[in-house]
């Protein structure tokens, strides 16, 4: 046995752009050690993941930390990932766990609704339509934070995370019927404070 | 003609695609002629659009750089699962010596095809004693201190490396990353493109006698120890290095 049998690294497969690959393909490439595949995956989902966390936590800084923790945790699933189109439920399940942990550690110190109340006013140069839209979104965020966590999670996963009913059911490990009932209940409760705000 | 105005639940069900096509068609026709229901539907759609909006402050954040820093962060208190480690001066002295005896004839291609010796990636193993470092042939003793060097000159050089041994009972003996604390899960070590770099620690495991396979995983991204141990247990080690390099060196451990 001679030592030092040395191997040549193969060329990466660039025939198909990373952006064109679906989540499963990117996870398999990441499993094969292609780091940029995981980058693509993170960049594909990070906007909605951060926004979802922000609507759970009421703070973009905490949302950023929770999202980053979620992607670090997701990376641990790379070697055992089963490519069956279930990345989003897995990612959002991890994210919600991170949000719950962040919420527990933060709860004794700060209340999210108070923080929203102390957010700086939007810059005055925004056009009226943008100001109105922004104010509307802030109202929605406040209303979301008043919802119970169970209802809020379903509503935010559905509309911010853009998960299907089936994906939400997988992410939360609940029946699809429960997803639908929580969704309708959540939106119904959400509309009450918003309608009061409209007047 | 609609018999009753749609409820809020029905409007949401319509937006969710949960209504029968006939009921959805009826409501759709109705809201085009009923200002009140049109306003309710618009308000509902506006609320859902607001929830779906990604604010610029969220959209502008890129997590990739900080995420890799976190993944690659070395353990604060690196542990070693080997029996004893001699560091510092003795290791550095021995490691310096290991580069010298290595000749180009040690480099062998993966296949018999023509190869360029300036493009190879792999490790070499050395046994360390008081006289310095000696290239390992096939046999080592169970209490030998081992040293490693690597070459990393592929066209796209690897950025991370793991070295570990797997014995006959499939137990994994870690060399790089070295670790002792079972509560930690360190990642591959960072490496650079170089014709030869010595890894400076002398590492000794209490190895069982018999066959031992030393694995070197050269990858672009870092791997966790837990990933590799899981892959070893499942016989899926090659999956981790499909686009990297996986070198196996078969040794015989004697008492």
The C-alpha angle with vertex A94 and arms to A184 and A40, in degrees rounded to 5, equals 105
If you ran DSSP here, which 8-state letter would residue A84 be given?
S
H or E stretch at B146: strand B145-152
Tokens 């990373």 correspond to what residue?
A18
**Given an 8 Å threshold on Cβ–Cβ distance, is B122 in contact with A6?**
yes
| Chain B interface includes A116 (CB < 8 A) | no
Region of B17 please: left (phi>0), alpha (psi -120 to 50) or beta. left
Parallel, antiparallel, or unpaired: how do β-strands B245-254 and B139-141 relate? Answer: parallel
The answer to whether B121 touches B152, Cβ cutoff 8 Å, is: yes
Mean per-residue pLDDT over chain A, rounded: 81
DSSP string, A88-133: HHHHHHHHHHHHHHHHHHHHTT--HHHHHHTSPPPPTTS-HHHHHH
Check B52 against A162: CB less than 8 A apart: yes
Could you tell me the pLDDT band of residue A103, with boundaries at 50, 70 and 90? Answer: confident
| Residues 139-168 in B contacting A (C-alpha not used; CB under 8 Å) | 151, 154-159
B113: number of CA atoms within 13 Å, CB side? Answer: 6
Phi, psi values for residue B15, rounded to 5°: -65, -30
Q: Which of A10, A155, A188 sits opposite B51 (nearest CB)?
A: A155
Question: Are the CB atoms for B197 and B222 separated by under 8 Å?
Answer: no
Coil, helix or strand at residue B151? strand
Neighbouring C-beta atoms of residue B34, cutoff 10 Å: 16
SS3 B27: helix
Q: Are B251 and A90 in contact (CB under 8 A)?
A: no
> φ, ψ for residue B207 (rounded to 5)?
-80, 140
Mean pLDDT for B112-131 is 70
Report the residue of chain A nearest B56, measured CA to CA: A47
**CA-based nearest residue in chain A for residue B251:** A1
A53-67, B91-105, B166-180: which is most confident: A53-67
Do the chains contact at A79 and B244, CB–CB below 8 Å? Answer: no
At residue B140, the 3 state secondary structure works out as strand
Instruction: Name which of B99, B112, B220 to mutate to probe chain A: the one with the most chain A Cβ atoms within 10 A of its Cβ.
Output: B220
Question: What's the pLDDT score for residue B1?
Answer: 57
The DSSP output letter for B255 is: -
Which of B133, B76, B140, B129 is CA-nearest to residue B99? B133
Q: Is the pLDDT of residue A127 over 80?
A: no
From B67-76, B137-146, B168-177, the region with the lowest mean pLDDT: B67-76
Q: Which pLDDT does position B213 carry in this prediction?
A: 94
Nearest to B217 by CA among B161, B146, B179: B161
Quickly list H helices, chain B. Answer: 8-15, 21-31, 35-52, 56-59, 64-72, 88-99, 225-234
CB A96, CB A171: distance < 8 Å:
yes
Is the separation of the CB atoms in B149 and B126 below 8 Å? yes
In our burial notation (b when 16+ CB lie closer than 10 A, e otherwise), range B233-243 reads eeeebebbbbb
What are the CA-CA distances from residue B209 to residues B41, B206, B212 (Å)? 76, 9, 8
Instruction: Establish whether the linkage from the previous residue to B125 is cis, with ω within 30° of 0.
Output: no
Per the prediction, chain B carries an average pLDDT of 78
By CB atoms closer than 10 A (0-12, 13-18, 19+), residue A73 is: middle
CB atoms < 10 A from the CB of B26, how many?
Answer: 18
**Per-residue pLDDT tens digits for B201-244:** 888 888 999 999 999 998 888 888 888 888 888 888 877 776 67
Place of tokens 């070197």: B216
- Is the pLDDT at B112 greater than 70? The verdict is no
How are beta strands B145-152 and B189-190 bridged, if at all?
unpaired
A8 vs B115, B159, B227: nearest CB? B115
What ranges in B32-131 are assigned the alpha helix state H? 35-52, 56-59, 64-72, 88-99
Question: Minimum mean pLDDT among B88-92, B149-153, B240-244: which range?
Answer: B88-92
User: Is A79–B51 a contact, with Cβ atoms under 8 angstroms apart?
Assistant: no
């Amino acid at each position: 046995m001679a030592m030092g049998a040395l191997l040549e690294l193969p060329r990466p497969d660039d025939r198909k752009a990373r952006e064109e690959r679906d989540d499963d393909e990117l996870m398999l490439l990441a499993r094969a050690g292609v780091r940029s595949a995981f980058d693509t995956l993170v960049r594909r989902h990070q906007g909605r993941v951060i926004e979802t966390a922000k609507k759970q936590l009421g703070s973009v800084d905490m949302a950023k930390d929770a999202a980053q923790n979620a992607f670090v945790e997701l990376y641990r699933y790379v070697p055992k990932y089963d490519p069956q189109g279930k990345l989003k439920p897995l990612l959002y399940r991890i994210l919600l766990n991170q949000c719950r942990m962040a919420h527990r550690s933060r709860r004794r110190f700060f209340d999210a609704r108070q923080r929203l109340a102390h957010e700086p006013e939007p810059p005055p140069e925004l056009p009226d339509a943008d100001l109105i839209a922004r104010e509307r979104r802030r109202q929605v965020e406040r209303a979301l934070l008043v919802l119970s966590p169970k209802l809020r999670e379903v509503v935010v996963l559905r509309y911010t995370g853009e998960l299907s009913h089936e994906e939400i059911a997988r992410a939360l490990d609940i029946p699809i019927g429960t997803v639908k009932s929580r969704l309708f209940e959540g939106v119904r409760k959400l509309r009450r404070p918003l309608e009061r705000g409209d007047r | 003609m609609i018999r009753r105005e749609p409820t809020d639940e029905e409007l949401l069900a319509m937006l969710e695609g949960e209504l029968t096509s006939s009921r959805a068609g009826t409501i759709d026709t109705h809201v085009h002629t009923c200002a009140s229901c049109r306003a309710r539907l618009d308000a509902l759609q506006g609320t859902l659009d607001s929830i779906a909006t990604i604010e610029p402050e969220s959209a502008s954040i890129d997590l990739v750089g900080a995420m890799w820093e976190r993944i690659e962060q070395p353990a604060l208190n690196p542990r070693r699962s080997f029996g004893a480690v001699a560091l510092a001066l003795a290791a550095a002295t021995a490691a310096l010596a290991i580069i010298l005896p290595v000749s180009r004839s040690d480099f062998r291609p993966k296949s018999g095809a023509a190869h360029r010796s300036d493009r190879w990636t792999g490790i070499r193993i050395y046994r360390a004693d008081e006289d310095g470092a000696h290239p390992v042939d096939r046999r080592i003793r169970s209490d030998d201190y081992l040293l490693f060097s690597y070459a990393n000159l592929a066209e796209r050089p690897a950025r991370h490396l793991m070295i570990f041994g797997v014995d006959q009972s499939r137990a994994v003996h870690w060399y790089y990353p070295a670790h002792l604390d079972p509560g930690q899960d360190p990642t591959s070590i960072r490496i650079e493109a170089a014709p030869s770099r010595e890894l400076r620690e002398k590492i000794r495991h209490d190895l069982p006698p018999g066959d031992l396979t030393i694995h070197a995983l050269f990858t672009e991204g870092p791997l966790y120890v837990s990933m590799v141990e899981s892959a070893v247990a499942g016989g899926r080690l090659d999956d981790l290095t499909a686009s990297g390099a996986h070198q196996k060196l078969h040794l015989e451990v004697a008492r």
